[in-house]
Structure 1
Amino acid sequence: MSDTQQSVTVIGLGPMGQAMVSTFLERGYQVTVWNRTASKADPLVAKGAVLAATVQEALAANELVVLSLTDYDAMYAILGQATDALAGRVLVNLSSDTPEKARAAAEWAAGHGARHLTGGVQVPPSGIGSPESATFYSGPKDLFEAHQETLKVLTATDYRGEDPGLAALYYQILMDIFWTSMLSYLHAVALADAHGITAEELQPYVASALSSLPNFAGFYTPRINAGNHAGDVDKLAMGAASVEHIVHTTEAAGVDTALPAAVLEVFRRGMAQGHSGDSFTSLVEVFKKAVASA
């Protein structure tokens, strides 16, 4: 087995996995790779990576094994055929999935003599290797500390705690913000286009609107923490009226209203629960109740 400080195995060679392998190679690491479609490894082998013929061979090459897969089901499909080679391995699972599946994977790995670190990469492949990028990690602290320097080759590290599910949870929380925000951006572009306004013309105004969000979050965070949803700054009923205007504008333009209509439905639920005179932040309580009753 190779020196764990200067060698690593990477399983999964999608765009993210390829970026990770390239970064490790650039930093002088010996990298063994494996992918279901072996040809994806060709450009990496040309850079110095070693292509393992089997999953067992990839696992045997190094103690530290980085997984860059679509989800945890892919992990089981790949590693399930090589459980006899898992003992003594450290699995750094950078695949996206739910906190519950991360916890189950940690137990599964332990059952086969391996140890598991959950990771949540906060950047696209282009951000790998940049010190400004970061990845959430969770799992055994001693395991994280033992391999932190190697993991820092990929991105800065943000350790969230011993619970294997925490890194996945933080990642999914940020993805909640990212996808809903970007979807609202695309809807705005479609609405602008219906009126002959190009995405390029709209972009500086989009940037201005998005750059204001940290200020709003900073203002409302201590209030939300304190459970203070007083309507002294804004009122949910006024917010609902604003969203209703968006729905009408969208409908008149012949653009799909599904997204703003869904937002309006949430506002109306909050009003129906007695929050009309409260701040729109009272909707966090509406969301909590929906979770509790599920």
Structure 2
Amino acid sequence: MTDNTPRNSLTLLGLGDMGTALARTWLAAGHRITVWNRTAAKAEALAAEGADVATSPAEAVAASRLVVLCLLDDASIGSALQGVDLTGKDLVNLTTGTPAEGRARAAWAEERGARFVDGGIMATPTMIGVPEAGGYVFYSGSRALFDTHRAALEVPAGARFVGEDPGHAALHDVALLSAMYGLFAGISHAYALIDGEDIAPKDLAPLLSEWLGAMGFFVGSTAERLTSRDFTTGVVSSLAMQVAATGTLLRTAEEQRVSPELISPYLELMRRRLTADPAAHGGEDTAGAITLLKR
């Protein structure tokens, strides 16, 4: 197949909030964009800004070698591209999905003669096209595809290639988001404890930020311990001591009439690690409890 499309052209399928933000950023950078959306009315504003609007996924895909997917879910990809000729196309999937879906979709694309890269967007729509906002996208899959189109992919947000396993972009994405929600859970519990007390949330806020920043060392130290499998060297606050202290956290929650549901799973995980073998695990760092999560 001969590719006669301009090097700065691309196709975008999906014009939700994120897709629209991506399209506008590429347009502003001078790229020729062909867009398609199941609800055609969403493309009208972009047409006025210079986008070419396709009437079908097949027409949109035919317009460019680089085809970016930003649809609702993985099933939407299969539905939109059913029967569409993908021979010689470079598919970049920015649809939120799981690692398994990324791997399966990569195999699906290869069977149809296309190269494939999966992506995980670490940004909100308002961060797209705003470099100082710090947003970026994880990419994994075909390194050749990524290298070919890297300049275009870096226009909306930073581009970080995390390996040729197509599932690794989604895995990185979900790992970071999971940590984020765990952080949000702890912050929510802290605010619930002071609710109704003579402590203003705005006064607790800087203390929370300062304390959580100080605890950031746990990210790196845990990585080192999981790599070495040494959970005992240089321990400052042992598992036995921390488990003993959890009673205070739970009694305080009860006194404040606050459900412990946001913190109790982690406290219980530490307790399980300790009670399995107090002599072996009592002097460990809490990172050892992570080993109990694998099924």
TM normalised by structure 2 equals: 0.90
CA distance in 2 between partners of 1:208 and 1:164 (Å): 37
Q: How does 1:1-294 map to 2 (within 5 A)?
A: 3-80=5-82, 83-131=83-131, 132-230=134-232, 232-274=235-277, 275-287=281-293, 291=294, 294=295
Deviation by residue 1:86-144 (Cα, 9 ceiling, x = unmatched): 22221100112111111100111112222210111112122222344321111121111
CA distance in 1 between partners of 2:254 and 2:113 (Å): 58
Structure 2 counterpart of 1:158, which letter? R
- The structure carrying a bigger helix percent of its residues is 1
SS in 1 for 2:12: strand
Contact 2:5–2:63 under 8 Å retained in 1 = no
Unaligned runs of 5+ in 2: none
Deviation by residue 1:264-291 (Cα, 9 ceiling, x = unmatched): 211111112222332111112222xxx2
Query: What RMSD in Å do the two structures reach over aligned CA positions?
Result: 2.0
SS in 1 for 2:229: coil
User: Displaced runs of 4+ in structure 1, greater than 4 A?
Assistant: none
CA distance in 1 between partners of 2:33 and 2:190 (Å): 44
Contact 2:11–2:63 under 8 Å retained in 1 = yes
**Inter-CA distance 94–252: structure 2 relative to 1 (3 Å threshold):** same
Unaligned runs of 5+ in 1: none
Deviation by residue 1:239-294 (Cα, 9 ceiling, x = unmatched): 2233332222222222222112212211111112222332111112222xxx2xx3
**Inter-CA distance 111–49: structure 2 relative to 1 (3 Å threshold):** same
**Inter-CA distance 191–38: structure 2 relative to 1 (3 Å threshold):** farther
CA distance in 1 between partners of 2:73 and 2:246 (Å): 36
Contact 1:243–1:260 under 8 Å retained in 2 = no
TM normalised by structure 1 equals: 0.90
CA distance in 2 between partners of 1:224 and 1:22 (Å): 43
Deviation by residue 1:52-79 (Cα, 9 ceiling, x = unmatched): 1111111111111111123212211222
Contact 1:4–1:64 under 8 Å retained in 2 = no
CA distance in 1 between partners of 2:197 and 2:4 (Å): 61
Structure 2 counterpart of 1:102, which letter? G
CA distance in 2 between partners of 1:109 and 1:188 (Å): 47
CA distance in 1 between partners of 2:14 and 2:247 (Å): 46
Structure 2 counterpart of 1:112, which letter? R
**Inter-CA distance 187–24: structure 2 relative to 1 (3 Å threshold):** same
Alignment length (residue pairs): 287
